[in-house]
Chains A and B, each alone.
Chain A
């Protein structure tokens, strides 16, 4: 194809340039598209078509079972899928798969790379019975309209439940509707727009808003790619109404009746700029805002699809692309453009013709040279024709030569990108993606799509060319390789060792050659397993190459390699993974086998798993824990468990029971005789507390107190004899007992008792605590405290008296010890008034 001028494809609507370029001459032999139900993937995606069996067909062309054919945009057949269900209500391409929904609510997801392997889901019995009228989809889900007039949302393509949108009563069927995907809806969640007889409704899972639009009803609602505008077609008066998507601004209203016979079949946006109408007879009309139009004919039929930056027209003969001429292209090529880029482009021409005008031109745009170069680079990206891409890049390069400083990265990136785009646009590949689309969807998405078409080598080279990680490509390749090699051999046993090994070696070698560490070997092993290649899956090479435990473990479990799974999980350090294995084993194995696997005396490596089992069982399954302790002879742990459970019992009888068991359990271990004794003591204590409570007719409560608290309370309540008994039974040391009794008597304010107690024998804790403790009470008891100072060590007395506030006695005791220094200190510190006089008095006497 030779094109004389880049503007040869241009045309105008009201001074706005549009261009229509033929991308492919179709390789297929499809005389009439109108006989098919068609769906086309966005961003240069493939075409799916199935004969519309609702149309009467000449019997001669009847070719048996219906099939869905998938073609590239250039009309090359990729694959054919037998379709035995009713007419599809929806066909939809995601990046890597084709979703087909039957009118009975069954949908299948076909992996484009392996069409025989599909997943089938049902929307449930209710929908099967009522039937599906219509559906709309986006990348991550779809909305189905049932015959009952209910909208059901299906999120993700994982077979999740359909969630009804807010009840759409009154059950008036919409005359047309459209889906706003989350990226363009104002709420960030999907939204529906539906036209009814009387108005337009906005619907989502939460609410239904009546937009109060009475220009309807509309037969078509179409939202622009950026989500900001709506095109609505009223079939009764033939008016095409364009309005902002919140209905606040009217943009235009055009009568479309003159454009064709009857009403258009499809209303699609051409980018965000214009609306295109597709007619049944193959006429395509591009409508400008004031009703001006461009039209093209593709008899007998054509299919149009709006893209983010234009429109694809697919007819039996060609695939064409229509778009508003981008600004940068306009700057370079528009007739009479005085843009620096246009001058630069011109200058290159002069230069090549060795005309001095080249220099003149460059001079004239010198200050704008950077802008000119950038614009040429940008424009290069917008050209489909390689000739013009080259020419523009060359102009940019030419301009660069005249600049002192220029960052070449944009130029280099564009050249790289164009190389990729041209490669995928090649008709055998047939992905007519534009620069805008490529940027908007990311290179990774394109690679994903190529891989799903089994174009591994191309995808790999593109990844490397663009500096992307090759692992998604490689792992897909390996899976595909396994699948293909599995299909060949009918009987797996025929395949023999050699086959498994050669496949495995091929895969590992390839990965190592490409220097890739990040590939998920587990994913590949899973594919092998799923394809009945268990040996290949378990082959040390394949699964052991997988560094990520989280990926291997589920597969190993599936393959009943429990112990390896557990070891790998432990190795990973991811405790949740260990739990996952443990819980799986617990539910699939007998208790004996379960504990056997966990026997860490056999496999010390599994200790962390054993620990986690205990942590889990302690919270969630006490019986399991007890069984485990029992069979593993863990007496100490079991004793501790009983102790803990004792503490959680609300009734004494039960607590006693647990304490008894604790004592027994500890007692079974030689190392824990002391603990056994202690548990026994605890049992004895509670028993005695119960006894006393009974004896005292439950007027007092002792149960649960510690030995100290018990004695204290007994003394506090005046049961000294019983207190003595506890003291004796538990061999409470003197010192401790004195402290308890001191505190209890003080609390009782039993000063006589305290005095008697102090006198009963020489205090093992001395008498200072008597003083300090009485002073620490609220309110303090300085008088009573002071009465014990005389029993304290002589050298402490002065200070203790001071604490009691008795400065006179303090001075006296200092005097008794002939401690002149102390006396001086007291004199210094004593507050004015009586205290001061008392100290002075003593000092005076000393002075004598």
Chain B
């Protein structure tokens, strides 16, 4: 019997006295329990959002029909169970889409982001409704705008002539706790808005959300950052603090958070262009994760729903239609996932099979049960086992989905080209590879990511070559991508060599390669000794900057593995982790900053001093067990790999934990797609 696979449930265990009532905890004991240090509880933000929604809805008297922007369904689901809205007298729910309404409640409530197109749809619906009044009497119309009501929307409604018939209100849905170390505004296409269109609305919303965060947890004692957008955001934060004393005047300096680091996506376009190689990153790249949910075959979640082809009823050879179901990827609900998500995909398979063997052992254990009390104990464990089994099934299924992709020749050639490009190795032959892949009509997103990567790492592309690439690209994938190519050029992502932009980029990359250790050769996938494990050898620029501020030695030490390679994965039991140093300024890294675009941010904020001055001194008394949280805010979105890398960083030192906050979670594909237009419509045959 393979019971010995796990020392925790071996036969010897059964001879011990039965444990305390909570037997189900037993199966989870293999997960290393993190030391119970007091950490920032960001759940309160969820409660805030939830109660704000409940309040907004309760303000509207009577039964309501709720019409929800489809893109808000996901984020909303992360703060409240949509079913619970029934308690707020929500009678029916529909998606917001053009077309007439079918309402039989007194109230109609639209919940959407303040976008012009939605206002027009709503105006049409109100007008249609008014020309055809319902028998129940006049309807009350309310629009709840997320995260705030805007004058723009009011104006659009006015222009449509319905402003008087509708109450505009707001629902402050800001930073949503996706995981206990991850906050997201869950906004789409932020990078496009800010960097391409010059529309700083997301920066403004981010500033409001971070103000709310500070209301909850105290003023960031220090704000650090890099990039034009980061500067704007930092300025706004101070501006709010200074100019709105009624709201923010009495915030005290935070004792739990030592600072905010704002990373502007525009300082690091390279990272999202690379293919993510962590489990979660791969899932996002190749299956797609939306609002922490993934669409998978329902059979993976519950094998009993498997469509059983029943030959008796249908004569046709039945092609089983597998239904897709949304599955919430959550570390709270799924311990296995929390172990796997941040791993390099290369080691996921072996982890899964290890667990499979252990589960087999646990189930196998049933044969060895001798006494009733042993039986009881085992049965108590079953619940845990079953949920583990289910998550094992799901992740095995997902891994089986990803595995063939990693075996594809095109995948591996893309990866090789990417890694050679960031390493600066023989760019011309990488261009050939990209063209080869294009000839094979690999998806256009991947091709563009690769060519952008080439342009970014190589100081642009020779004009002739670039032009011929573009010509080929448009021929292969369609001329509708022409504006996209121009957009990439405007952003400096796809430029001719020799231009001023490209020259600067070239110097910058060469400098960073040398001084920020972008390329790391000896990485250990299983027990990573550096953040570069998330890209199998490339350490994201964004996080190297965070390391400059928080893990100085990791950057400065030229050798990679010596510092703390052995116990680096956080599992190294018993061994004391080094203590985190206080949050640095940029001092010592001025040269690094100087090669990156945009302003440097380094501001100290001082909160309301209401106490007698003692507080300041109390705070200075070092407390060895105190954990401080550093918030890293990604303006323009971050990738799952960056999240994983920060989690890894959280585990390296005693006393500092990173809280990741972002405008949204992106990957190279959706980033590139957002920069282009909508795909063309189907042509109709002309008459």
Q: Contacts of B148 on A, CB cut-off 8 Å?
A: 576
Residue of A nearest to B687 (CB): A651
Hey, which chain B residues are within 8 Å of A308, CB to CB?
none
Query: B619 within 8 Å of A by Cβ?
Result: no
Q: A573-B207, A640-B483, A649-B681 in contact; A614/B197 too (CB < 8 A)?
A: yes
Known: A614-B197, A643-B482. A469 touches B474 (CB 8 A): no
B409 within 8 A of partner (CB): yes
Are A736 and B683 in contact, CB atoms less than 8 angstroms apart? Answer: no
Contact A583 B242 (CB under 8 A): no
Contact B475 A707 (CB under 8 A): yes
Q: Is the CB of A708 within 8 A of B441?
A: yes
Q: Is B232 in contact with A573, judged by CB distance below 8 angstroms?
A: yes
Q: Cβ of A471 and Cβ of B199 under 8 Å apart?
A: no
Docked-complex contact B479 and A678, CB < 8 angstroms: yes
Which one of A204, A548, A611, A730 lies within 8 Å of B243 (CB-CB)?
A548
Q: Is the CB of A651 within 8 A of B683?
A: yes
Task: Assess whether B685 is in contact with A518, with CB atoms less than 8 Å apart.
Answer: no
Tell me, yes or no, whether B371 is within 8 Å of chain A by CB.
Answer: no
Known contacts A206-B106, A647-B681, A674-B467; is-contact A469 B246 (Cβ 8 Å) = yes
Instruction: Please tell me which one of the listed residues B201, B467, B486, B685 contacts residue A636 in the complex, with CB atoms under 8 A apart.
Output: B486
Q: Determine the chain B residues whose CB is within 8 A of the CB of A678 once the complex forms.
A: 470-471, 474, 479, 482
Bound: A653/B685 CA distance, A:
10
B387 within 8 A of A: no
CB pair B681 A517 closer than 8 Å:
no
Indicate whether A655 reaches chain B with its CB closer than 8 angstroms: yes
Whether A518 pairs with B246 at a CB distance below 8 angstroms is yes
The interface centre, meaning the residue of B152, B203, B204, B207 with most chain A CB atoms within 10 A of its CB, is B152
Interface pair A611/B479, CB less than 8 Å apart: no
A611 adjacent to B199 (CB under 8 Å): yes
Inside 8 A of B243's CB, which chain A residues have their CB? Answer: 517-518, 547-548
Given contacts A580-B151, A651-B683, A707-B476, contact A612 B199 (CB under 8 A): yes
Bound CA span A205–B483, Å: 54
Q: Is the CB of A616 within 8 A of B61?
A: no
Across the interface, A675 reaches (CB within 8 A) one of B486, B677, B680, B683, namely B486
B439 touches A679 (CB 8 A): no
Q: Which residue of A lies closest to B487 (CB)?
A: A640
Known A576-B152, A580-B152: A698·B479 in contact at CB below 8 Å: no
- Nearest CB of chain A from residue B196's CB, rounded to whole Å: 10
Q: Chain A 626-660, CB within 8 Å of chain B: the 1/0 string?
A: 00000000001000100110111111110100000
User: A572: which B residues are within 8 A, CB to CB?
Assistant: 239
Q: Measured between alpha carbons, how far is A640 from B441 in the docked complex, in Å?
A: 25
Taking the complex as formed, is A619 at the interface, i.e. its CB lies under 8 A from any CB of chain B?
yes
Interface string of B652-687 (1 = CB under 8 A from A): 000000000000000000000000011111111110
Interface residue B116 (Cβ < 8 Å from any Cβ of A): yes
Contact indicator A706/B199 (Cβ below 8 Å): no
A573 touches B239 (CB 8 A): yes
Contact A736 B472 (CB under 8 A): yes
- B483 touching A698, Cβ below 8 Å: no
In the assembled complex, how far is the CB of residue B225 from the closest CB belonging to chain A, in whole angstroms? Answer: 15
B246 to chain A, nearest CB (A): 6
Check A611 against B686 for contact (C-beta < 8 Å): no
* Chain A residues, CB < 8 A from B244: 518, 548
CA distance A611 to B62 in the complex (A): 42
Confirm or deny: B625 has a beta carbon within 8 angstroms of a beta carbon on chain A: no
Chain A residues with CB under 8 A of B680: 646-648, 704
Residues of A within 8 A of B193 (CB): 615
Query: Given A518-B246, A573-B236, A643-B483, does the pair A706, B204 have CB atoms closer than 8 Å?
Result: no
Looking at the assembled complex, report how far the CB atom of B411 sits from the nearest CB atom of chain A, in whole angstroms: 13
The answer to the question of A790 belonging to the interface, with a C-beta cut-off of 8 Å to chain B, is: no
Instruction: List, in ascending order, chain B residues with CB within 8 A of A187's CB.
Output: 61
Nearest-neighbour CB distance to chain A for B74, whole angstroms, equals 23
Residue of chain A at shortest CB distance from B483: A640
Could you tell me if B683 and A650 are in contact, using CB atoms closer than 8 angstroms? yes
Q: Which residues of B contact A548 (CB under 8 A)?
A: 243-244
Query: Does B522 sit within 8 A of A, measured CB to CB?
Result: no
**Hey, what's the 0/1 contact readout for A254-277 against B, CB within 8 Å counting as 1?**
000000000000000000000000
Cβ contacts under 8 Å, A651 to chain B: 683-684, 686
Q: How far is the CA of A749 from the CA of B678 in the complex (A)?
A: 35
Q: Is the CB of B479 within 8 A of A205?
A: no
A-B pairs with beta carbons under 8 A, tally = 170
> How long is the Cα–Cα vector from A353 to B245 in the complex, in angstroms?
53
**Quick check: is B305 within 8 A (CB to CB) of the other chain?**
no
Q: By CB atoms of chain B within 10 A, which of A643, A655, A685, A739 has the most?
A: A643
Known A-B contacts A206-B61, A732-B475; the reply to A698 vs B439 at CB < 8 A is: no
Residue in B62, B239, B246, B475 whose beta carbon sits within 8 Å of that of A706 in the complex: B475
Asked if A189 lies at the interface with its beta carbon under 8 angstroms from chain B, I say yes
Give the CA-CA distance A681 to B472 in the complex, in Å.
12
B207 contacts A205, CB within 8 Å? no
By the criterion CB–CB under 8 Å, are B235 and A679 in contact? no
What's the least CB distance linking A28 to chain B, in Å? Answer: 39
Q: Confirm or deny: B58 has a beta carbon within 8 angstroms of a beta carbon on chain A.
A: yes
CB < 8 Å neighbour of A619 from B58, B116, B487: B116
The one of B150, B246, B471, B679 that contacts A579, using a Cβ cutoff of 8 Å = B150
Which residues of chain A are within 8 angstroms of B439 by Cβ–Cβ distance?
733, 735-736, 739, 765
Query: Secondary structure at chain B's binding surface: helix, strand, loop or mixed?
Result: helix
A733 to B152, CA, bound (A): 51
Say yes or no: A733-B246 contact (C-beta < 8 A), given A575-B204, A643-B480, A651-B686: no
Distance, CA A648 to CA B678, complexed state (A): 8
Q: Is A620 an interface residue (CB 8 A)?
A: yes
A574 at the interface (CB under 8 A from B): yes
State whether A653 touches B200 (Cβ < 8 A): no
Flag if A575 contacts B201 (CB, 8 Å): yes
Q: Is B581 located at the chain interface by the 8 A CB criterion? A: no
Contact with A along B425-469 (1 / 0, CB 8 A): 000000000001011110000000000000000000000000100
Q: Which residues of A contact B200 (CB under 8 A)?
A: 573, 575, 608
Is B245 a contact partner of A576 (Cβ separation < 8 A)? no
CA distance A646 to B683 in the complex (A): 11
Asked if B339 CB lies within 8 Å of chain A CBs, one says no
B475 touching A708 by the CB < 8 A rule?
yes
Among A575, A577, A736, the residue within 8 A (CB) of B199 is A575
Does A703 lie at the interface of the complex (its beta carbon under 8 Å from any beta carbon of B)?
Answer: yes
Q: Does A607 contact B (CB under 8 A)?
A: yes
Min C-beta distance of B133 to chain A, whole Å: 15
A701 at the interface (CB under 8 A from B): yes
A653 adjacent to B686 (CB under 8 Å)? yes
Residue of A nearest to B203 (CB): A573
Assembled-state Cα–Cα distance A206/B140 (Å)? 11
Query: How far is A703 from B685 in the complex, measured between Cα atoms in Å?
Result: 9
Kindly provide the distance from the CB of B339 to the nearest chain A CB, expressed in whole angstroms. 33
Contact call A576/B199, Cβ cutoff below 8 A: no
Q: Which one of A575, A577, A583, A650 has the highest number of Cβ atoms from chain B below 10 Å of its Cβ?
A: A575
Closest to B61 in A: A189
- B235 to A, closest residue via Cβ: A573
Asked if residues B151 and A547 are in contact (CB atoms below 8 Å), the reply is: no
Q: Are A706 and B203 in contact (CB under 8 A)?
A: no
User: Are A583 and B155 closer than 8 Å at their CB atoms?
Assistant: yes
The 6 closest A-B pairs by CB, nearest first: A611-B198, A647-B680, A682-B479, A518-B245, A707-B475, A547-B243
- Besides A517-B242, A580-B151, 15 other CB < 8 A contacts? A469-B249, A573-B204, A574-B204, A576-B201, A612-B198, A644-B483, A644-B678, A647-B681, A651-B683, A678-B474, A685-B479, A705-B478, A706-B479, A732-B475, A739-B439
Can you sample 9 A-B contacts with CB below 8 Å?
Answer: A204-B61, A471-B245, A579-B150, A608-B198, A611-B197, A615-B199, A652-B686, A678-B479, A679-B482
